[in-house]
Structure 1
Amino acid sequence: MAVPAGVDHAGPCVELSYVDAVHGLRRCPLRDCVTGRFEDVAPVRTFRWSRGERHFPGWYWAATTGRHVGFESWLERDRLLLMDFDPSVVGIGSQPFWLHWHDGERERRHAPDYFVRHADGSAVVVDVRADGRIEPRDAEAFEVTRLLCAQAGWRFERLGAPDAVLLANVRWLSRYRHPRCLHDLVAARLREVFAIPRPLMVGADTAGDRLSTLPVLFHLLWIQEMTAADMTAELLGPRTIVHVAGGVGR
C-alpha cells in the first residue's frame, strides 16, 4: 500500500517515544534513537485483560532473555514462542515504543508489537496481524512503520499465522525450555547415543530411564543441540529421527 502523500516519513517531525528506566516516558527524534536497545525497555502500553474483551493478553517467560515478555493475543504469543526458539535471536522487547508521524492532516502514532535483536547486532521491528484482519488503516500504519524503520537501519516484518505443525512442535518443546531441564550427565549420554541418527524413543531408552532422559532430550531439541526431522512436516513422536545437530557422526 502506498503511503499517503502528506506523510513526510523522513522529516524532522518523525519522533519515537519510549519508557526510560530513569526518566520515564521520553520522546525524541527518530534519528536520535537508532542505537537504542529497545529490546530491553519496558512496554509503552500495559497488558491487561477485561471481562468481555476479545483479545487475550498475557506474559510469556522467554528463555532467550530470562524474563517475561508481554503479548496481546494468542497469535502474538505464538509468534513470540517461535522467536524464543530462534537461535539467532538474543533479545525481545514487546510494545517497545510509539512511532509518531504526521499524515498531512494530523499526528498519527503506532506501537509495533516487538523489537527483536539478533546475534549479529541487527534489529527487526515486528507487527503481528493475521492476513485476513488487516484493515486499510492498519496497512497504512504498517507501511509507514516499514519506511521509518528503514530510516533507522532496522528491518520491519509483518507476521501472520505460523505453520501449524511447526508451532505445535515448538509449543511442545517450550515446556522444556527452562535451563533446569538440562542435566549434564544425561545430556552427555544423549549426545553419544544420538551421534548416529535414530528414533527419538529408541535413543531416549538407550540413554537411560526415559523419565530422566526425555526432559533433557526435549531441552536439547529446544536449544537445537539436537535436530529432529523436518518439524514443519510432521509432529514429533516416538519414531521421529533425531541426531546431534551439525551432522551425522560428529
Structure 2
Amino acid sequence: MNDLVWAQFRSRAGRLIERPVRQLRGEKLEERAGVLEPPRYRGRRAITTWWRPADRAGHVGCATLGALEAAISLELDPQVTAFASWPVRLSRAPSTDGYVPDFFARLSDGQACLLLRRPSGGAASGDAWGRTMKLVTAAGEQAGWQVRVHEGDDAVMTRNRQRLARYRHERMACPDTARVLREVFARPRPFDGGIQASGLPPLRTAACGLHLIWRGELLIDWNRPFTPGSSLVWTRREAL
C-alpha cells in the first residue's frame, strides 16, 4: 500500500518497536516514553522545557515555547485526561526519518488524539508542512486517532494561562473554601474584593480561588489581562 503509514514507538519496557500505524489502535501511548531525544548543546543540558501535568509523576517535553503553550492548553482542556510528548515517529516506509507529533492525548470518551503545533512564519504554509499534514492525517485515519493542530493563542490569553497554571495542582483545593467562594462570586466582583469579603485567611483562600478559576468553576474574561485587584470573577451557574 503506497499510503501505508509506519509508526515507531516504545514498548512498556522502553524498547523501540516499528509497526504499521493501523496496528496501534488501542495502544496507550500516553503511558509510554517518547521516541525523541531532546537536542543537547555544549554548556547546557538541553533547550527542552519540561512541563509537569497536575498531580502526575511524569513530565512532558516541549521543544519550543509554542509547544509549551500547546501543553498548557491540553492541561486546561477538560476533555483531556492524560497526554505525553513525542509519542510516535510516523513515516511512509519502515526505518526511515519521519515526523514526530508534539503530543499524544487521551480524551475523556476514550478517543486518542495527536496534537501538532503549527510552525511559525512561512514554514506554516510551505510544502514541508503540507506533506506533514498529509502524513499525520493518513496516520490518524489508519489508527483511528483524532488529529488537532494548535494554531497558537492570543498573547494575553497565553499569559493568563501561564500565570494561573501555577495553581493547577489539587493541593490548592479546599472544598469548604470553594463552597464559600462560589457564594461570594455569585455575582461578578473583583477577585481581591471577593477574597476579602469571604472572611477567610487571605493567602490560602486566594490560592484556592485561583485554582477554581483554572478548573473553570470560577470564570474570568481570559482575553483581558488578569489583575486580581480589578478583574471581575463570577461563578459558573452549574457550580451554584
Please tell me the TM-score bracket, short chain as reference: 0.7 to 0.9
More strand by share: 1
- Residue 99 (structure 2) aligns with: 110
The secondary structure found in structure 2 opposite 1:150 is helix
RMSD over aligned CA atoms reads: 2.5
Identity %: 26
Deviations 1:148-196 (A, max 9, x none): 2122221212323321111111111111112221233322221221223
- Residue 3 (structure 1) aligns with: none
Q: Aligned partners of 1:64 and 1:161: how far apart in 2? A: 25
User: Quick check: 90-99 or 123-132, which moved more?
Assistant: 123-132
The secondary structure found in structure 2 opposite 1:62 is coil
Q: Aligned partners of 2:99 and 2:62: how far apart in 1? A: 16
Q: Which stretches of structure 1, 4 residues or longer, exceed 3 Å deviation after superposition? A: none
The one-letter code matched in structure 1 to 2:176 is L
1:140 aligns with 2:134: no
Question: Post-superposition shift, 1:235?
Answer: 1.0
CA shift in 2, pair 1:24/1:198, >3 Å: same
1:126 aligns with 2:115: yes
The secondary structure found in structure 2 opposite 1:59 is strand
CA shift in 2, pair 1:141/1:66, >3 Å: same
Question: Post-superposition shift, 1:90?
Answer: 0.6
For the Cα contact (< 8 Å) 1:64–1:84, is it kept in 2?
no
For the Cα contact (< 8 Å) 1:177–1:222, is it kept in 2?
yes
More helix by share: 2
- Residue 27 (structure 1) aligns with: 18
Q: Aligned partners of 1:129 and 1:56: how far apart in 2? A: 19
Question: Post-superposition shift, 1:52?
Answer: 8.4
The secondary structure found in structure 2 opposite 1:63 is coil
- Residue 164 (structure 2) aligns with: 173
- Residue 56 (structure 1) aligns with: 47
Which one of 83, 89, 92 corresponds to residue 83 of structure 2?
92
- Residue 8 (structure 1) aligns with: 2
1:41 aligns with 2:35: no
Question: Post-superposition shift, 1:147?
Answer: 1.9
Question: Post-superposition shift, 1:101?
Answer: 0.8
Q: Aligned partners of 1:96 and 1:217: how far apart in 2? A: 34
- Residue 221 (structure 1) aligns with: 213
> Which stretches in structure 1 are left out of the alignment for 5+ residues?
1-6
> Which stretches in structure 2 are left out of the alignment for 5+ residues?
none
Number of corresponding residues:
235
The one-letter code matched in structure 1 to 2:106 is R
Deviations 1:205-247 (A, max 9, x none): 111343222111001111112111x212x11122222122235
The secondary structure found in structure 1 opposite 2:29 is coil
For the Cα contact (< 8 Å) 1:16–1:27, is it kept in 2?
yes
Structure 2 length as normaliser, TM-score?
A: 0.88
